[in-house]
Amino acid sequence: MARPSRGGVDASGPGEVPGPYLLFLGDTTEPGYAKTAFGLRDWARGRCVGEYVLEGGTVSTGLPALTPAEARVRGARSMVIGVANAGGFIPAHWVDALVAALEAGLDIVSGMHSRLRNIEGLGEAADRLGRRLIDVREPPAAIPVASGRPRSGRRLLTVGTDCALGKKYTALALAAAFRERGLDAEFRATGQTGILIAGGGIPMDAVVSDFAAGAAEQLSPDADPAHWDVIEGQGSLFHPAYAGVSLALLHGSQPDVLVVCHQPGRAHMLGYPGYPVPAIEQTIHLALRLGGRTSPAIRCAGVSLNTSGMDESAARRLMREERHRLGCPVADPMRGGAEFEALVEACLA
């Protein structure tokens, strides 16, 4: 399925991120933590020249394996850290590889919580070599406390049963589908990968908690009554660590419509084996109950399944079964088809 192009966003962004990119995967062994790399491969493929994996790494995007020097020869201008691990930190044993990228003539782009200039040796190397260190996970200044005031325009928020299972992909696909129908619609990025794809947004998990709902209001301000903001969800309302971000985004976005995202077969929260993934029905019920506080008419249009680990026939069969069981459209936006068309129509109804 062709990946649709994005629209611009009005919120703060990282400024110019020099491309093309070399995607850095470090020594990552959990594919779910490499969502930044996969997101850029799938939604900004023309800006990615290859990947750089360290010894011990088992995750690959399928792009050409390149050293920083080889990537520079192929036109890369920056190396993007394509990993979003728990806590958003940069391990000390990655630093030599980051310095090597600077020495090869690449800027470093990071969406981690760790600030690049705070890493010993990295700032000095960048200054010596005349290279840039770009932190994407930087919220704008002077975010207001949420007002709770109803806003004009229409809003859709993707919510999830867990982290890293398709909320961003679903929002991107829905925004593109709305535009293909001639509607005025924008994808609103709330995480580092979405911001890199869209060129703007607010990294919600980097906002001080008292201001997080206000950031969501700022991200999707008053708009024309026919305009759609399609807002990228974060985390899960059931997550033991990240539920606060999810709730602030739900309250501040004041969505008219929810789409619940789920990955079949995932039994436990990513990185939290003691916490089972909630049922889709539980997620719908809780999201509607909590979202109704600031958006009384909120509704769930349907469910987005991440069936990337299934073959085509099994995926289509599961979508049919879940549609009958849940009584709403169920689709995998990356597979498209009649199921996705039904989900789009239900969102717009």
62-83 per-position pLDDT tens digit: 999 999 999 999 999 999 999 9
Taking only the tens place, the pLDDT of each residue in 138-166 is: 999 999 999 999 999 999 999 999 999 99
Q: State how far the Cα of 253 lies from the Cα of 133, in Å rounded to an integer.
A: 31
pLDDT tens-place string over residues 278-312: 999 999 999 999 999 999 999 999 999 999 999 99
Phi, psi torsion values for 268, nearest 5 degrees: -130, 155
Residue 239 above 70 pLDDT? yes
Interhelix angle 243-253/209-219, nearest 10 degrees: 40
Q: For residue 89, is pLDDT > 70? A: yes
State the pLDDT at residue 15.
Answer: 55
Residue range 34-71, pLDDT digits in tens: 989 999 999 999 999 999 999 999 999 999 999 999 99
> What pLDDT sits at residue 100?
97
Hey, which residues does 268 pair with through a beta bridge? 276
**Residue 317 to residues 257, 311, 323, 331: CA-CA distances in angstroms?**
26, 10, 10, 11
pLDDT given at position 14: 54
For residue 132, pLDDT beyond 70: yes
Domains and CATH numbers, the chain: 21-135 (3.40.50.720), 154-348 (3.40.50.300)
User: Would you state the structure tokens that stand for residue 72, as one six-digit string?
Assistant: 């520079």
Give the mean pLDDT of the chain: 93
The predicted structure's pLDDT at residue 10: 38
Helix 95-103, helix 122-129: angle, nearest 10: 0
d(CA 152, CA 145): 19
Under the banding of pLDDT at 50, 70 and 90, the label for residue 2 is very low
